[in-house]
């Protein structure tokens, strides 16, 4: 069941607030598309979150086992707010612009959500990026309103917009990466003229469309990276065979022989797939076709590794790290793909983000997400090739999930575990 967390930050009550009108519209349409969804309402405009103080900071940075009672009490609201975020798949946030930034209540909410050990980990061993988010895979819809206009990138007041960039900068604390933020904003509220009327109409349409889209896609279970089972051995399923050249079905043998010739060994993935020669042929044929696309080796591995990571396939993460190293993919790109951190090259990062969108949305990118991808310098051809790479990894990742494929020694040096799991350890 999908869970929507609705946050209202306007100090105004329902009948006088444009952002509340939009969050209400979003919630209504979302529930219409997905009647089984759960909605959590947190009204921080009417019931403001207090600013944090020295006692909060002291309590938050004291390890849980060393906390005194007053510290636990001081963190109780923060814990409750974080629990709501953890439960949510989608966060819809009514966020008016106040004095070019966010309402104090919203800042208070964010300050209560950003908690070491609960929403982020901090480790100087990570070099210049010591902060790593703990929550992942959530979507954020920001429904805003402004008295003036032109705060969008490139607009006449873009340099005064201290609201949208501030929300985006903190979104990783609530499990949202930049590619998963959608913003709708009413403008010209103070002018109350035809431009304002048009802006309200457009914002309502955009809000309705987003709510329907999220409602429909959330109807299918939204997948969290942390949800995949670490080990399925103890379950009732029967072990799957790892074939040898002798035991493999006849139709699989020529493919295993070709692999032996190419790699010098038969990868255990192929040996597992051999039980169904059709999937082995499908996978190897599609791999060869994917290798013939116009994508560079680095781009191909970005698509494949992103899917491996999101699908939690340890075998393919280790194998493709090795293949990436052999294929000349830069070390920093490989590290980003393994650790889920941004790639320095913005065009490659846009490809990584789009591969995430395709995987997590189950192939339902929004127009804005496609637009952002194309604006980064990619093409519609690449959109479709990302889908091809996603399909390819479905075959191998899912096979490894059910067969629990053992890692080949050739890939052992690149053993991988999820950064989310690492952060929790």
Ligand X SMILES: Cc1cc2nc3c(=O)[nH]c(=O)nc-3n(C[C@H](O)[C@H](O)[C@H](O)COP(=O)(O)O)c2cc1C
> Which residues of the shown chain bind ligand X in the complex (CB under 6 A)?
10, 12, 17-20, 96-100, 145-148, 189
Both tokens of 410, joined, read: 């050739």
When the beta carbons of 117 and 147 are compared against ligand X, the nearer one is: 147
Q: Report the DSSP beta bridge partners of residue 98.
A: 101
Q: Which residue has the tokens 């309590």?
A: 59
Distance (Å, whole) CA 87 – CA 40: 9
* Phi-psi label, residue 201: left if phi above 0, alpha if psi -120 to 50, beta otherwise: alpha
When the beta carbons of 167 and 274 are compared against ligand X, the nearer one is: 167
When the beta carbons of 147 and 282 are compared against ligand X, the nearer one is: 147
Q: How far is the CB of 162 from ligand X (least distance, A)?
A: 9
Q: How far is the CB of 166 from ligand X (least distance, A)?
A: 13
Q: How far is the CB of 8 from ligand X (least distance, A)?
A: 8
Q: Where are the alpha helices (DSSP H) in 13-66?
A: 18-33, 54-60
Residues whose CB is less than 8 angstroms from the CB of residue 191 and which lie 6 or more positions away in sequence, other chains included: 147, 149
Q: How far is the CB of 99 from ligand X (least distance, A)?
A: 5
Q: Which residue has the tokens 């020529």?
A: 254
Q: How far is the CB of 275 from ligand X (least distance, A)?
A: 59
When the beta carbons of 82 and 97 are compared against ligand X, the nearer one is: 97
Rg (C-alpha) for the chain, rounded Å, is 24
Residues whose CB is less than 8 angstroms from the CB of residue 134 and which lie 6 or more positions away in sequence, other chains included: 118, 119, 120, 121, 175, 420, 423, 424
Q: How far is the CB of 20 from ligand X (least distance, A)?
A: 6
When the beta carbons of 105 and 350 are compared against ligand X, the nearer one is: 105
137: nearest Cα among 360, 308, 419, 365: 360
When the beta carbons of 97 and 211 are compared against ligand X, the nearer one is: 97
Question: 3-state SS of the chain: helix, strand, coil percent to 5?
Answer: 55, 10, 35
Burial 153-165 (b: 16+ CB within 10 A, else e): eeeeeeeebebbe
When the beta carbons of 12 and 46 are compared against ligand X, the nearer one is: 12
Distance (Å, whole) CA 221 – CA 1: 7
Q: Report the DSSP beta bridge partners of residue 93.
A: 7, 142
Distance (Å, whole) CA 349 – CA 361: 18
When the beta carbons of 73 and 201 are compared against ligand X, the nearer one is: 201
Q: How far is the CB of 368 from ligand X (least distance, A)?
A: 22
Q: How far is the CB of 110 from ligand X (least distance, A)?
A: 18
Q: Which residue has the tokens 């509220």?
A: 189
């Amino acid at each position: 069941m999908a869970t929507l967390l609705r946050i209202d930050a306007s100090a105004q009550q329902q009948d006088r607030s444009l952002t509340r009108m939009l969050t209400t519209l979003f919630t209504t349409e979302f529930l219409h598309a997905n009647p089984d969804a759960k909605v959590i309402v947190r009204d921080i405009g009417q019931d403001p979150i207090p600013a944090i103080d020295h006692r909060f900071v002291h309590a938050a940075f004291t390890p849980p086992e060393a906390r005194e009672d007053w510290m636990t009490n001081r963190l109780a609201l923060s814990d409750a707010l974080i629990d709501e975020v953890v439960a949510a798949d989608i966060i819809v946030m009514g966020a008016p612009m106040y004095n070019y930034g966010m309402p104090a209540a919203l800042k208070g909410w964010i300050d209560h959500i950003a908690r070491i050990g609960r929403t982020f980990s901090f480790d100087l061993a990570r070099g210049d990026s010591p902060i790593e988010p703990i929550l992942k895979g959530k979507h954020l819809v920001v429904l805003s309103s402004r008295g003036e206009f032109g705060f969008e990138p490139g607009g006449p007041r873009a340099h005064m917009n201290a609201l949208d960039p501030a929300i985006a900068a903190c979104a990783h604390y609530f499990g949202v990466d930049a590619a998963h933020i959608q913003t709708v904003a009413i403008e010209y509220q103070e002018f109350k003229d035809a431009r304002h009327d048009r802006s309200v109409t457009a914002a309502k349409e955009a809000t309705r469309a987003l709510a329907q889209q999220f409602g429909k896609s959330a109807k299918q279970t939204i997948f969290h990276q942390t949800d995949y089972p670490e080990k399925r051995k103890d379950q009732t399923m029967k072990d799957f065979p790892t074939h040898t050249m002798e035991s493999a079905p006849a139709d699989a043998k020529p493919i295993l022989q070709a692999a032996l010739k190419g790699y010098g060994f038969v990868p255990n993935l192929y040996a597992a797939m051999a039980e169904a020669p059709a999937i082995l042929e499908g996978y190897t044929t599609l791999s060869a076709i994917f290798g013939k696309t116009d994508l560079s080796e680095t781009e191909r591995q970005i698509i494949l590794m992103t899917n491996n990571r999101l699908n939690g396939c340890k075998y393919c993460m280790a194998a493709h790290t090795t293949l990436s190293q052999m294929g000349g993919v830069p070390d920093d790109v490989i590290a980003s793909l393994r650790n889920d951190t941004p790639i320095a090259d913005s065009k490659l990062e846009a490809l990584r983000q789009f591969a995430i969108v395709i995987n997590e949305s189950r192939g339902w990118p929004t127009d804005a997400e496609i637009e952002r991808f194309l604006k980064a310098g990619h093409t519609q051809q690449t959109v479709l090739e990302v889908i091809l790479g996603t399909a390819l990894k479905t075959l191998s990742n899912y096979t490894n999930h059910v067969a629990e494929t053992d890692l080949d020694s050739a890939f052992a040096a690149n053993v991988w575990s999820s950064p989310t799991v690492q952060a929790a350890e």
